[in-house]
Amino acid sequence: MEDKYRNLIETTEESDVIFHGRVFDTIVKKVRLADGREARREIVVHNGGACVLPVDDDLNCYMVRQFRSPFEKILLEVPAGKIEKGEDPRVCAIRELHEETGFEASELIEFGGMSVSPGYDSEIVYLYMARGLKQIGQRLDEGEFLNVEKIPLATLLEMAEKGEIIDSKTQLCIYKAARRLGI
């Protein structure tokens, strides 16, 4: 770490798990700030996720619509799922592509990772674009309900620009794919 950033560092003095769940844990940390004062941090600890934007040869994308309980509404998103402990994000993206859309891809292009909400959440979502699509049959998880929709990438770009797509991983995948594909 460069010396010019040392004044930004917090040191963890204590850390307690206050919730252990199926998807994430929550911890509370007591930290020492650079100026010597104490502070408390509440953090969601998450294994991360992977998402994939399937794009066919005509630049149509295969999106999923599903109900999202925190918002009490149906959202349009790229296929995605959580990374299992120790799982490679690429393997997760391939699995979710197959499970949610029924596609396999001959090419998986990595777009990097994104921090979802770094102020309190450790989740990193890894983004991919799938090309060379072949339909092999959908395999939804038990209790998973979604619709797959074919939407042109140019239309998705317009929807993202208008704020019609609120999911950040979906927006970022759309923008990165559009740039990569010259739209």
Query: What does the block give as tokens for 126?
Result: 């890894």
Which residues are part of the catalytic machinery? 142
69, 71, 74, 78 alpha-carbon torsion, rounded to 10°: -90
Tokens coding 29 = 């940390």
The dihedrals phi and psi of 85, each to the nearest 5 degrees, come to -55, 125
d(C-alpha 154, C-alpha 152), whole Å:
5
C-beta of residue 128 within 8 angstroms of C-beta of residue 176: no
> Which tokens in the block code for residue 91?
């393997």
Q: Give the SS3 label for residue 178.
A: helix
53 burial type by CB count under 10 A (0-12 exposed, 13-18 middle, 19+ buried): buried
